[in-house]
């Protein structure tokens, strides 16, 4: 039999969720984008021109990714062929990308229903520039929002933190290990989560995060027995 799961991509606006979805699933359903003016910190962290606008999602985007597990090797092979038909033991991943702005709270709340795994995105480039309490608190608040959606169930849902935009990182302050220690200093709940370096633009890291989720989900439901 095949398995079907729902994975939610969460995190603040501009962290790279939609870009990651486009890279992972070229035929993903993108329901709408608009342009916004980046903040001064975003312009500096992302090395943007002063008049450059950036894209931001207006709706929940989604796509389907199919993975074939090799439980003996602890690996998963992903299929990007649009006409690939799932086979026995394949995992159908329904991947949802949420809007990060505060006005889209109801959309994020609705998307969180029934998730089996969460990819939580962090803008590592912005933290490299300003790894201070203000920016860390925004990340903690975004995580607490998940708790408000899912309640005690959040403790049972595998979660991986993606430290995105590593293509813009040139110091250890922007790497996953340093970011994990810094955030866990303010909130020890983050100590138990794996932090993964990634670059949505260059197309690496996110698949590693999904593999970690799949291993945890397979173990939880006994699929690898």
| Residue range 159-179, pLDDT digits in tens | 999 999 999 999 999 999 999
Give the pLDDT confidence score for residue 225 in this predicted structure: 63
All structural domains of the chain, each given as residue ranges with its CATH number in brackets, are: 3-221 (3.40.50.300)
Three-state SS at 81 = coil
**Which is nearest to 2 in space by CA: 94, 91, 117, 93?**
91
Tokens of 193: 């989560």
Residue 4's pLDDT band (cuts 50, 70, 90): very high
pTM score, whole prediction: 0.92
Whether residue 83 is predicted with pLDDT greater than 80 in this model: the reply is: yes
List pLDDT tens digits, range 35-50: 778 788 888 888 877 7
Give the pLDDT confidence score for residue 58 in this predicted structure: 67
CA angle 13–18–20, rounded 5-degree value: 120
List pLDDT tens digits, range 58-80: 678 999 999 999 987 789 999 98
Give the pLDDT confidence score for residue 99 in this predicted structure: 82
């Amino acid at each position: 039999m095949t398995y079907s799961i729902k994975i939610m991509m969460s995190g603040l606006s501009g962290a790279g969720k939609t870009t990651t979805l486009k890279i992972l699933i070229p035929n993903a359903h993108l329901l709408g984008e608009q342009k916004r003016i980046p903040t001064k910190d975003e312009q500096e962290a992302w090395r943007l021109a002063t008049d450059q606008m950036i894209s931001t999602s207006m709706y929940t985007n989604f796509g389907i990714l199919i993975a074939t597990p090799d439980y003996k090797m602890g690996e998963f092979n992903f299929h990007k062929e649009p006409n690939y038909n799932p086979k026995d033991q394949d995992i159908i991943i329904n991947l949802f990308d949420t809007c990060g702005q505060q006005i889209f709270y109801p959309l994020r709340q609705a998307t969180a229903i029934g998730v089996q795994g969460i990819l939580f995105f962090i803008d590592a480039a912005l933290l490299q520039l300003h790894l201070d309490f203000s920016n860390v608190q925004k990340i903690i608040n975004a995580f607490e929002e998940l708790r408000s959606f899912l309640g005690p169930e959040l403790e049972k849902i595998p979660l991986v933190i993606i430290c995105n935009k590593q293509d813009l990182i040139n110091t250890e302050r922007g790497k996953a290990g340093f970011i994990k220690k810094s955030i866990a200093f303010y909130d020890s709940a983050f100590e138990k989560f794996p932090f993964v370096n990634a670059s949505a633009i260059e197309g690496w890291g996110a698949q590693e995060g999904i593999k970690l989720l799949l291993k945890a989900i397979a173990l939880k439901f006994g699929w690898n027995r």
